[in-house]
C-alpha cells in the first residue's frame, strides 16, 4: 500500500511542488517576455538586449509599399512595425503615385503614428466644370466641403451653388438674393467672406459699398430668408458668429471698444459682454480671447481670456495696431495662441485657466516661436497643429506630441496671397508660379500639382478624392473652374 508509505508520500509531494514551481516560472518568464515585447525589448543578433520603437504606418490610398532605409518591408501600410532606436528613412510607394518619404528618429520605447501620409498621382488629369467669362469676385466653400458658392461675374446678387457630394459629377444650381436686401451702391460694391455657420447652409458675408459695409447672412438653401444684419444691429465694426451658429452673434464697436452679444431670436436686443476691447477671437459659447488696454502700463496691453465666467490675464503685449489671436480645443484641452507682431514672438499656451488656478496666477507658455513679422495664425482642420507664418517662413506646433517645427519653403507665395492655407488636418497649400503647392505640416513631401489661380483657395471634395481649382482660361479674361482627381483611375 504505497499511499501509506511516508517516504513515497513525501517524494510525491516534492514532485508536485517542483511541478508547481516550474509551471509558475514558465508563466512568469512568458509574461515577462510579452511585457518586454510590448515595450519593444528584444534580442539583437549577438544576443544583446535592445529596446525598439513602435511605428504605425497608414496611407491614402491604401495599401502602399513600405521601404525602410531603402529596403522593402514585408508589410504594407495600415500596419505596425517594431524598429530599434535610431534614424530611419521611411518611403511609401504605390503604382501610379508619387512616393511619400520622411526621416524618422526613434528613441527606445517610443511610439509614433504616421496615419496621415497622402500619395498624389504622378499624372494629374484636369477636366472642365465651368467656364466664367471673367474672374468670379467671390468663391467660398462650406465647412463640410459639400457646397461651393460662386458669385457670378457681373451681378453681385446672383450666385452659382455647386453640390460636390458626387465629386465626379458636381451639380450646379443658381439663386439670386431678394431685391432690397442690400443697400444700393452708387460707385462700387463687392463681397468679403466672413465665415460659414456649422449648418453648412448659412454664410456670413460683408457687403462693401461706396466705402461703407453691411453684414448679410445668406441662406443658400432659402435665399428669400437671407437677412441684412446691419439693418437689425446698426453698423458694427465687426460681426462674428457665436459658436458658428447662424443666428447668434458678437457685435463689436471699435469706437466704444465694446463687445456685445445678439440673437436673431431676440430681435434687435444687444446684451453687453465686454468693454475696453481692442481685438478679440472667440471659441464655442462665450469663450473669448481679447486684448485690452484697461489697467495696462503705458505702451502695453493685456491679453485676457474669459471662459465659463472666469477672466484671467494671460500676459502683457506691446501696444500695436494689429494683434494675432487664436484659440481652440484639442482632445479636450484648451489652447491659446497670440502673436506679438512688434517683437516677432508667438506664444502658445496649454490650458491657461487651469495653469492660472493651479499655479497661483502663473501661466507658462508651452512654446515660443521667433518669427519676423508674423502675419497669420491658424489651426489645422483637426486642431492638432497651429501654424504661424510670415511669407514662406513657417513655425508649426504639434499639440499631440508637443513638437515644434520651423522651416522655409522654396517657392514664393504668389500675390495676392499673403499666407498658405490648411488643405486638411496635416497638410498646407498655396499657389506659386501658377501651380498649386502642397506639403506636410513639417515642410516635407512638397508636391507641385495642377495649374491654379492665386486669387482663390483650392477646394477639396468631401473625401479629398478631387480638388477643384480656378485658373486662367486660354482666352483672356476667361477663368475656368476645373476638377482634378487625386486618385488614379484604378482607385476612383
Nearest 5°: the CA angle 192, 194, 198 is 140
Residue range 104-155, pLDDT digits in tens: 987 878 888 899 999 999 999 999 999 999 999 999 999 999 999 999 999 9
Residue range 344-393, pLDDT digits in tens: 999 999 999 999 999 999 999 999 999 999 999 999 999 999 999 999 99
Distance CA 183, CA 468 (A): 33
Name the pLDDT band for 5 (thresholds 50, 70, 90).
low
What residues contact residue 309 under an 8 Å CB cut-off, 6+ apart? none
DSSP 8-state secondary structure symbol assigned to residue 3: G
Region 226-252: mean pLDDT is 97
Nearest 5°: the CA angle 335, 406, 442 is 80
Instruction: Name which of 264, 266, 269, 357 is nearest 307 in CA terms.
Output: 357
Overall pTM > 0.85: yes
Distance CA 207, CA 190 (A): 6
Whole-number pLDDT of residue 10: 61
Whole-number pLDDT of residue 109: 81
What residues contact residue 26 under an 8 Å CB cut-off, 6+ apart? none
Distance CA 253, CA 239 (A): 9
Of the candidate CATH numbers 2.40.30.40, 3.65.10.10, 2.30.40.10, 2.60.40.10, the domain formed by 42-114 belongs to: 2.60.40.10
What residues contact residue 455 under an 8 Å CB cut-off, 6+ apart? 135, 416, 470
Helix (H) or strand (E) holding 273: strand 271-275
What residues contact residue 286 under an 8 Å CB cut-off, 6+ apart? 242, 261, 273, 306, 307
What residues contact residue 179 under an 8 Å CB cut-off, 6+ apart? none
- pLDDT score of 43 more than 50: no
Region 308-324: mean pLDDT is 96
Query: Which set of grid coordinates corresponds to residue 150?
Result: 460662386
Whole-number pLDDT of residue 356: 97
Whole-number pLDDT of residue 470: 96
What residues contact residue 404 under an 8 Å CB cut-off, 6+ apart? 367, 369, 395, 396, 397, 398
Whole-number pLDDT of residue 477: 95
Rg of the chain in Å (alpha carbons): 29
Lowest-pLDDT range, 51-60, 164-173, 205-214? 51-60
Region 298-315: mean pLDDT is 97
- pLDDT score of 27 more than 80: no
Region 260-284: mean pLDDT is 96
Q: Three-class SS of residue 357?
A: helix
Q: Where are the domains of the chain?
A: 2-38, 42-114, 122-135+409-492, 139-275, 295-407
Whole-number pLDDT of residue 421: 97
Q: What percent of the chain has pLDDT over 90?
A: 85
Question: Can you tell me which residue has the cell 501651380?
Answer: 435
Region 204-228: mean pLDDT is 97
Whole-number pLDDT of residue 342: 85
Show the beta-strand stretches assigned E in 17-142: 41-43, 49-57, 65-68, 71-76, 79-84, 86-93, 100-106, 111-114, 127-132, 139-141
Residue range 432-481, pLDDT digits in tens: 999 999 999 999 999 999 999 999 999 999 999 999 999 999 899 999 99
Whole-number pLDDT of residue 444: 97
Residue range 51-96, pLDDT digits in tens: 678 999 999 999 999 999 999 999 999 999 999 989 999 999 999 9
Distance CA 336, CA 318 (A): 18
Q: Measure Cα distances from 264 to 247, 248, 261, 288 in Å.
A: 5, 7, 11, 21
Distance CA 488, CA 287 (A): 44
Distance CA 14, CA 20 (A): 10
Decide if 227 contacts 216 (C-beta within 8 A). yes
Amino acid at each position: 500500500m504505497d499511499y501509506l508509505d511516508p517516504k513515497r508520500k513525501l517524494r510525491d509531494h516534492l514532485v508536485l511542488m517542483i511541478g508547481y514551481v516550474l509551471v509558475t516560472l514558465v508563466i512568469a518568464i512568458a509574461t515577462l517576455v510579452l511585457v518586454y515585447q510590448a515595450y519593444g525589448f528584444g534580442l539583437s543578433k549577438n544576443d544583446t538586449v535592445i529596446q525598439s520603437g513602435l511605428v504605425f504606418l497608414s496611407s491614402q490610398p491604401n495599401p502602399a509599399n513600405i521601404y525602410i532605409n531603402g529596403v522593402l518591408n514585408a508589410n504594407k501600410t495600415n500596419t505596425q512595425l517594431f524598429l530599434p532606436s535610431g534614424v530611419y528613412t521611411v518611403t511609401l510607394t504605390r503604382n501610379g503615385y508619387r512616393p511619400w518619404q520622411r526621416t524618422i528618429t526613434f528613441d527606445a520605447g517610443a511610439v509614433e503614428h504616421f496615419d496621415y501620409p497622402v500619395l498624389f498621382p504622378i499624372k494629374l488629369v484636369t477636366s472642365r466644370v465651368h467656364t466664367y467669362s471673367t474672374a468670379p469676385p467671390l468663391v467660398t466653400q462650406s465647412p463640410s466641403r459639400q457646397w461651393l458658392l460662386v458669385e457670378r461675374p457681373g451681378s453681385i446678387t446672383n450666385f452659382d451653388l455647386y453640390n460636390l457630394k458626387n465629386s465626379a459629377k458636381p451639380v450646379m444650381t443658381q439663386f439670386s438674393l431678394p431685391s432690397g436686401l442690400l443697400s444700393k451702391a452708387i460707385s462700387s460694391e463687392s463681397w468679403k467672406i466672413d465665415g460659414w455657420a456649422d449648418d453648412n447652409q448659412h454664410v456670413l458675408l460683408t457687403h462693401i459699398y461706396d466705402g461703407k459695409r453691411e453684414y448679410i447672412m445668406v441662406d443658400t438653401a432659402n435665399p428669400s430668408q437671407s437677412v441684412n444684419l446691419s439693418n437689425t444691429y446698426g453698423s458694427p465694426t465687426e460681426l462674428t458668429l457665436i459658436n458658428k451658429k447662424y443666428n447668434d452673434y458678437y457685435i463689436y464697436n471699435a469706437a466704444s471698444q465694446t463687445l456685445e452679444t445678439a440673437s436673431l431670436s431676440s430681435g434687435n436686443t444687444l446684451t453687453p459682454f465686454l468693454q475696453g476691447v481692442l481685438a478679440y477671437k472667440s471659441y464655442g459659447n462665450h469663450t473669448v480671447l481679447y486684448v485690452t488696454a484697461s489697467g495696462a502700463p503705458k505702451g502695453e496691453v493685456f491679453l485676457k481670456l474669459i471662459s465659463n465666467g472666469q477672466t484671467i490675464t494671460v500676459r502683457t503685449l506691446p501696444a500695436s495696431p494689429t494683434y494675432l489671436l487664436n484659440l481652440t480645443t484639442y482632445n479636450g484641452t484648451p489652447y491659446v495662441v497670440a502673436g506679438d507682431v512688434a517683437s516677432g514672438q508667438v506664444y502658445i499656451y496649454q490650458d491657461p485657466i487651469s495653469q492660472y488656478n493651479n499655479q497661483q496666477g502663473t501661466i507658462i507658455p508651452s512654446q515660443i516661436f521667433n518669427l519676423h513679422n508674423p502675419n497669420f495664425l491658424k489651426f489645422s482642420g483637426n486642431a492638432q497643429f497651429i501654424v504661424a507664418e510670415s511669407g514662406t517662413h513657417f513655425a508649426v506646433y504639434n499639440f499631440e506630441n508637443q513638437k515644434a517645427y520651423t522651416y522655409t519653403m522654396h517657392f514664393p507665395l504668389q500675390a495676392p496671397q499673403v499666407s498658405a492655407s490648411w488643405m486638411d488636418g496635416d497638410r498646407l497649400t498655396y499657389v506659386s508660379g501658377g501651380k498649386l503647392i502642397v506639403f506636410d505640416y513639417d515642410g516635407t513631401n512638397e508636391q507641385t500639382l495642377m495649374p491654379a489661380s492665386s486669387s482663390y483657395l483650392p477646394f477639396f471634395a468631401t473625401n479629398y478624392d478631387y480638388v477643384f481649382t480656378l485658373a486662367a482660361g486660354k482666352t483672356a479674361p476667361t477663368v475656368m473652374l476645373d476638377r482634378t482627381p487625386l486618385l488614379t483611375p484604378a482607385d476612383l
